[in-house]
């Protein structure tokens, strides 16, 4: 079976992992969650989790993938056998697959909004529009299940096609074009925000904190976001790690991923909040934040239609480079386990997740409020699925940390890590004690409060 596919270059894992990490989580979710949760305190918990918990788990997850050279479910099975540990650890793979379905289902719907705005920009239909018109346009988009479903369908098909083409032609080829372009455009938007928005207000909103500002659900959201943004604890990184060159450094790569991802989130946050405060808009407006503020900026900017069009194409690029990493672990599993062809496996995964995505679609309109789902779960299906992922991803990460830290022996891990003893000891301390304690702390603090 396992053909031990590897990326073309030593550095391709880094490219693929950054492609997975940088996405809607940075450009859309990070700014809006920060806005909803009051700014600095949210960022503090988020950043601490990334560095004390995220990086060590990122190293662990990549290591498990590379050591098994299999998809997460089969990989965990393989590792429990070869290392003689309990089969219960296989739950890491299954939990990850469940997360992948859940995340892809709503990720694709939101990415679909970017298709809408790409179109609106390039046709110039928002040129000169004011805040009210743009807000109304966004509300109209959300009110249309047909339009949302159409975009959701287009996006998920595009992602599926790339993964179906395989890791070299599809995934590597796509990423080499998308990622550099994304960074250039992001800096352009930041430049515009600094020149035309209220940069000082944005910086003080993001970087002054009062920990008491953060609600208990905010703690969970901040931790969930730090896992989400690094694509952590659900098998995406493990699946890509399975193709990683044996000589690339696990530690250095993980640190680089976390730094690039955090930098992109901060730049996106600074750019968006400069525009928000400059235009006197509300920071806590929720999921529409990026989709309302940026079109407003583009509407007023010279060449805004073109720049805006390019920007939303790149949002799409960032989203696709992440969504493919949601499909890969499950598709690779179906190929390994059931001998499906890659296209068949992708099709199965994508269709199931697409159908689940319809729940997110109707969360914004037909089932927005006062309906049975709300009565049962106290929130919309979209919010409910997000809440599940806020729990599943840290939980997956916790299990990965425990498995790598406690179930595998010192020498087994050392062989795969190949760093010096000090680094190794630091990493091991973090995955054995710090990461589990931090995740448990946030769970105990916030989950009892999350009842809607
Ligand atoms: N990290 C991606 C983002 O920030 C989202 C993602 C989560 C992608 C999990 C893959 C796996 O947009
Ligand atoms: Na991210």
DSSP string for 162-185: HHHT-IIIIIIHHHHHHHHHHHHH
Could you tell me the pLDDT band of residue 362, with boundaries at 50, 70 and 90?
very high
- pLDDT score, position 451: 59
pTM: predicted TM-score of the whole model, two decimal places: 0.92
CA–CA gap between residue 326 and residue 59 (Å, rounded)? 19
* Closest ligand to the CA of 389: 1
Region 340-359: mean pLDDT is 96
Taking the CA of 315 as reference, the closest ligand is 1
Asked if CATH classification 1.20.1740 holds for the domain at 12-449, the reply, yes or no, is yes
pLDDT mean across residues, the chain: 90
Answer yes or no: is the C-beta of 224 below 6 A from any ligand 1 atom: no
Q: How does pLDDT run across 112-156, given as a tens digit for each residue?
A: 999 999 999 999 998 888 888 999 999 999 999 999 999 999 999
Between the CA of 229 and the centroid of ligand 1 the distance, in Å, is 5
Cα 231 to middle of ligand 2, angstroms: 7
pLDDT at 388: 93
Helix residue spans in 24-172 (DSSP H): 24, 30-36, 40-48, 55-68, 72-82, 91-122, 131-142, 145-164
What is the position in ligand 1's atom list of the atom closest to the CA of 21?
1
Distance 50 CA to ligand 2 centre (A): 11
String of b and e for 75-94 (b: at least 16 CB within 10 Å)?
A: bbbbbbeeeebeeebbbbbe
Sign of CA dihedral 341, 345, 348, 350: negative
Q: Quick one: what percent of the chain has pLDDT higher than 90?
A: 62
- Determine if ligand 1 sits within 6 Å of the CB of residue 234: yes
State in Å: Cα 127 to ligand 2 middle: 30
- Which one of 16, 18, 20 would you pick to mutate in the ligand 1 pocket, going by the greatest count of ligand atoms within 8 A of its CB? 20
The tens digit of pLDDT for each residue in 225-263 reads: 999 999 999 999 999 999 999 888 999 999 999 999 999
231 lines ligand 1 (CB under 6 A): yes
Handedness of CA 231, 168, 250, 91 (dihedral sign): positive
Structure tokens at 247: 């000589």
What letter would DSSP give residue 451?
-
> 409 C-alpha to center of ligand 1: Å?
30
pLDDT digits (tens, 9 = 90+) for 61-113: 999 999 999 999 999 999 999 989 999 999 999 999 999 999 999 999 999 99
Q: Among all chains, which residue has been given the structure tokens 């730049």?
A: 267
Cβ–ligand 1 contact at 238 (below 6 Å): no
Packing angle of the helix pair 173-196, 289-300 (nearest 10 deg): 70
Label residue 1 by pLDDT band (50, 70, 90): very low
The residue behind tokens 């793979």 is 93
- The more confident residue out of 415 and 376 is 415
Residue nearest (by alpha carbon) to ligand 1 atom 6? 231
- Beta carbon of 229 within 6 Å of any ligand 1 atom: yes
Closest ligand 1 atom to 228 CA: 7
């Amino acid at each position: 079976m396992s053909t031990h596919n590897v990326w073309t270059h030593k550095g391709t894992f880094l490219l693929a992992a950054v492609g997975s990490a940088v996405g809607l989580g940075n450009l859309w979710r990070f700014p809006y969650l920060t806005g909803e949760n009051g700014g600095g305190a949210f960022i503090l918990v988020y950043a601490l989790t990334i560095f004390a918990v995220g990086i060590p788990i990122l190293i662990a997850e990549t290591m498990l993938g590379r050591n098994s050279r299999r998809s997460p479910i089969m990989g965990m099975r393989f590792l429990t056998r070869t290392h003689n540990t309990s089969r219960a650890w296989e739950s890491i793979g299954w939990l990850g697959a469940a997360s992948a379905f859940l995340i892809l289902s709503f990720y694709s719907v939101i990415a679909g909004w970017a298709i809408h705005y790409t179109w609106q920009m390039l046709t110039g239909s928002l040129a000169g529009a004011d805040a009210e018109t743009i807000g109304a346009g966004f509300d109209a988009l959300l009110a249309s299940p047909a339009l949302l479903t159409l975009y959701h369908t287009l996006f998920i098909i595009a992602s599926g096609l790339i993964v179906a083409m395989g890791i070299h032609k599809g995934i590597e080829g796509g990423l080499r074009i998308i990622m550099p372009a994304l960074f250039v455009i992001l800096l352009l938007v930041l430049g515009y925000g600094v020149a035309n928005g209220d940069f000082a207000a944005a910086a003080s909103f993001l970087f002054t904190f009062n920990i008491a500002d953060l609600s208990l659900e905010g703690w969970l959201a901040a931790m969930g976001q730090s896992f989400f943004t690094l694509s952590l604890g659900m098998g995406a990184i493990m699946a890509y790690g399975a193709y990683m060159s044996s000589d690339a450094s696990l530690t250095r790569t993980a640190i680089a991923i976390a730094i690039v991802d955090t930098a992109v989130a901060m730049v996106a946050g600074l750019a968006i909040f400069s525009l928000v405060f400059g235009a006197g808009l509300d920071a806590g407006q929720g999921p529409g934040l990026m989709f309302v503020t940026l079109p407003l900026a583009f509407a007023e900017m010279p060449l805004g239609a073109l720049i805006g069009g390019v920007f939303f194409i790149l949002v799409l690029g960032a989203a696709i480079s992440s969504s493919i990493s949601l499909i890969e672990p499950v598709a690779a599993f179906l190929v390994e386990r059931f001998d499906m062809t890659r296209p068949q496996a992708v099709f199965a995964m994508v269709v199931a997740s697409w159908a689940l995505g319809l729940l997110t679609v109707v969360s914004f309109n037909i089932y927005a409020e006062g309906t049975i789902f709300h009565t049962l779960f106290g929130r919309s299906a979209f919010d409910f699925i997000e809440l599940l992922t806020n729990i599943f991803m840290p939980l997956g990460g916790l299990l990965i940390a425990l498995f790598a830290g406690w179930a595998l022996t010192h020498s087994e891990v050392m062989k795969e890590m190949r760093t010096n003893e000090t680094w190794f000891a630091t990493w091991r301390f973090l995955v054995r004690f710090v990461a589990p304690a931090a995740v448990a702390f946030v769970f105990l603090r916030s989950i009892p409060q999350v009842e809607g």
